[in-house]
Structure 1
Amino acid sequence: MPFIEESDLLDLHKDIDKAQIINERLLDQIKYKNKDLRKIRLQRNVLLGITGLFVIGVLAITSFTAGLSSKNSFENNQNNHLLVSIDSLDAIKTRIDNLKEQNEELSLVREFYLAKAFIDKEKIYSVQVKSFVDNNVTLASEALTNTLFVKTNPFYAYSLGNFETLDEAQSFRKQLVQMGFKDAFVASYQDGKRIQIEDPY
């Protein structure tokens, strides 16, 4: 195993802590965004209901006044209602456009969670760089992306990278070996568990 200077290890810990804080903030932002999008969806449904009632009410009032009014007053009222309806239709169209944009943002958040769930179910490859007897390693964090910290009895394995193909993982392993991690090897994982140790070449 390569020798790591204490200052380099401290810098690595600091970088990992910073990345963990950033990831936690991003997860919090996603949670708040989901709450906002739920509120917006509820507001949209309420607005559509109110708009439907409004349109029905306007049509009922228009037809009622049309039967009671003379021909001239009927034409004047219809023109006035038409102008009011056009103005309110523009406001409704603007609101619908805003809701479409917010719906697209919600779709992006949903796609993120679907992709994460897909990765968890699919077989992935990662490069194990170290094993520890104890589970008190500050290098490991579930909030960090592209890292795995898996219990492989009786050890805790620390792996870097999430790759779809074995070739990508083997190429990354070669880079780590050149950096001094001579004991690094490729393993396959699925559902957060190691399946097997793969051929390193």
Structure 2
Amino acid sequence: MPYIEEDTLLDLYKEIDVSNKDKEQYRRSYFENKESTQKIKNFYTWGMGGLSLLLIGALGWILYTSSTSPKESINTNQQAAILALTDSLRYAQNESAIAQEASLLGSNGLNSFERVVYKVQLANYKKPTRVAVKPWQVGDKGYMRLAVGDFASYKEAIALRDELKRIGFSSDIFLIAVYKDEKIDLKEALKMSKESYLLNVTK
């Protein structure tokens, strides 16, 4: 039978004890890190959930105010919705819109006054009102026309019109085409914007 000196045996016990302590420390560190990671995940989940609820609540408020307000007036929330939508849609156009703008402004040498633009007409009033949304345009026989958007493409203006209807604006809103600050026929405008293929689907 092999012989182990007492000092050697004590050293082995000490090493085993140290090893067990290290193992326990590693185990604690693992669970602490796991708990910390879970807290971060929970915070992210709750944060995203709260943001989603906030966005849903904001949309619900817009829908509520749109449905309870008189159809002939445009309230503050609707004004904000118009401005937010026009901004977001302009950014959402990305490369396709940029390419089209470059074609219109670059190769043809046209500025915004000289090219056809599409807008969504929201209202037509005999007298100016307190509505802060711009631009107002003078229509036929002195009527004031409220139209939003400044799109080089008919399809882009259609997207804005449909979104405005979706959030509660009147189904009577429609597209107009403007050339040199004058309203022109949509069919003529489609030819000018090289979208003649849409002549049979305009609505």
Q: TM-score, normalised by structure 1?
A: 0.39
Q: Which has the larger radius of gyration?
A: 2
Q: TM-score, normalised by structure 2?
A: 0.38
Higher relative contact order (CA 8 A, sep 6+): 1
Higher helix share: 1
